[in-house]
Amino acid sequence: MAAFDTHAPLLPEILSLHGKWKRNKPALVCGTEKISWAAFDRRTNQLANVLIKADISRGAMVGIVMSNGTAMVETIVGVMKSGACSVPINLSVSDEALMAMLEDAGVAALVATKDQKDRLQPYLEAHPGTLVLVVGENYESFRDGGDTATPSVEISGDDPLNVIYSSGTTGMPKGILHDHQGRRDWAYDLTVALRYHGGARTLFTIGLYSNISWVGMLCTLLSGGTMFIHEKFDAEAALKTIEAEKITNFAMVPIQYQRLLEVKGQEKYDLSSIEAVMSCGSPLHADLKAALFKRLGPKAVIELFGLTEGLITTLDPEEADGRMSSVGKPLLGTDIKIIGDDDREVPPGQSGEIVGVGRTMMPMYLKRPDATAEATWTDETGRGWFRTGDVGQLDEEGYLYIVDRKKDMILSGGQNIYPQDIEAVLITHPDINDVAVIGVPSETWGETPLAVVVPEAGITLDAAEVTAWANERLGKQQRIVGAVFRNALPRNANGKILKRDLRDIYGDKNYG
């Protein structure tokens, strides 16, 4: 007896079906360019087929070093359809960090926009066989040489779909690997939590290399909505687009929401089309959250706490009253616990490390079994949970509150900044003996890095000169706000720097 085909389609198949059933509906809008779902399906099929013909398919890594635009979305989806794995790079990292990420991933192909082309030269000199496509030069002709038919490649759920790097490091970066099944399930669960649907009209103002943008991108693509792409964030341009295009959804970090509300005359823009927006990347402080509810509507703002590794909680707007400092509850199908220093679960109201498990989690860090093992907490049944490194607590009703970060990561403007990366640069200064970098308050960025420096004996350093020297060598988003000087850094008996003590000393000042 024949059985019905009940397989669960992965994202490439779902997007091809949109090309069939939503063919005349716009999939992408960028400036004056508007691409229908039929054209988007055709273009991404073409790119996938020429990649396959060039032996860029299952198991291959494709570096994406691109500014926002329709070509970047096409590239991400075309690579996905080919069975290869995309590696989108944060454009703000230093050239050294870019090289380290491409080397770590072992990319066999690179797609870049013209403004990023020159940055690829060190990698290409070391890997002359790399396939390179540059938007504005050979990308379009390369893409258009491919067959428009659905690529004939078998993709399984555990095939890698993308790698997103956790930091712009000057040492060994850490690649967060997502597979096809996990990304599909991640998109389904977030589509429900963030209230996307087929009529979604989503605005993008953050680089499409960011996992924040991937939230809106995959939710919109999954639901068959329309993506409106801005090359970069401009508060007034965003307001104009929301009004003119009847935008329903977008994702931003708190500083961007603050900028929207600070636009002179912003109250004249009609924002009534907005249905649900996400805030993430850093805490959405209660006053700003209340102002957004007032401006966008009582059911519009959803705060999200999450990591690129996959653990996510959301605070539904209907439940925000009286819980403005909470980040809500885990996604449907996800579970979280709070564990103490002894790795045992703690009761509500007690702080500890947040751990989580669920189908949206990454399977592993790329080529880093040590990091994967370090990030695993095993419960009494033998089930592995992801250790976030963040400290939180649950109230009696199960709402999560973020207390502190167990690790010393700094969240600045929605970007993860790792102090050790900055310290590795500063310690190379000939007159610096010891250094620690901490996050200090900033009205603009939420947090910003401050260097606490111990000069070499007998040396007097100038704070402005040290700051300028460091910032010339750091990625844009790693730059320090300043430097302060001490005779020694506080350490425990094991020699570990007590950064909490430093934050207590220097964290009571706002650094703008």
Write the secondary structure of 307-357 as one string of H (helix), E (strand) and C (coil): CCCCCEEEECHHHCCCCCCCCEEECCCCEEEEECCCCCECCCCCCEEEEEE
pLDDT in tens, 108-128: 999 999 999 999 999 999 999
Q: pTM of the predicted model, to two decimals?
A: 0.82
167: CATH: 3.40.50.12780
Name the strand (E) or helix (H) holding 279: strand 276-279
272/250 Cα distance (integer angstroms): 14
pLDDT of res. 63: 98
Tell me which amino acid residue 63 is: G
Domain co-membership, 414 together with 355:
no
Domain co-membership, 127 together with 175:
yes
Establish if 294 belongs to a structural domain: yes
pLDDT of res. 2: 62
Which are the contacts of 12, defined by CB distance < 8 A and separation ≥ 6? 77, 80, 81, 151, 155, 180
Closest CA to 402 of 410, 393, 413: 393
Establish if 3 belongs to a structural domain: no
Establish if 85 belongs to a structural domain: yes
Name the strand (E) or helix (H) holding 304: strand 301-306
Domain co-membership, 130 together with 253:
no
pLDDT of res. 408: 74
Domain co-membership, 436 together with 399:
no
Domain co-membership, 291 together with 149:
no
Domain co-membership, 328 together with 458:
no
Residue for token digits 């703690």? 346
pLDDT of res. 423: 87
Domain co-membership, 75 together with 156:
yes
Q: Which of 407, 433, 456 is the C-terminal boundary of a domain? A: 407
170/149 Cα distance (integer angstroms): 42
The conformation of residue 364, written as its DSSP 8-state character, comes to E
Domain co-membership, 391 together with 445:
no
pLDDT of res. 181: 96
Domain co-membership, 309 together with 447:
no
Residue 256 half-sphere exposure toward CB, CA atoms < 13 A:
25
Q: Which of 347, 380, 407 is the C-terminal boundary of a domain? A: 407
502: CATH: 3.30.300.30
Q: Could you list the beta-strand ranges (E) of 91-184.
A: 109-113, 131-135, 160-165, 175-179
pLDDT of res. 145: 94
pLDDT of res. 493: 42
pLDDT of res. 380: 92
Tell me which residue range forms the domain holding 73.
11-28+35-179+207-214
Domain co-membership, 262 together with 376:
yes
Closest CA to 175 of 231, 117, 103: 103
Domain co-membership, 255 together with 392:
yes
The conformation of residue 480, written as its DSSP 8-state character, comes to -
Domain co-membership, 368 together with 347:
yes
Is 432 within 8 Å of 452 (Cβ atoms)? no
111/64 Cα distance (integer angstroms): 5
pLDDT of res. 480: 94
Which are the contacts of 138, defined by CB distance < 8 A and separation ≥ 6? none
**In the chain, which stretches have pLDDT less than 50?**
168-171, 493-494
Number of structural domains, the chain?
3
Establish if 282 belongs to a structural domain: yes
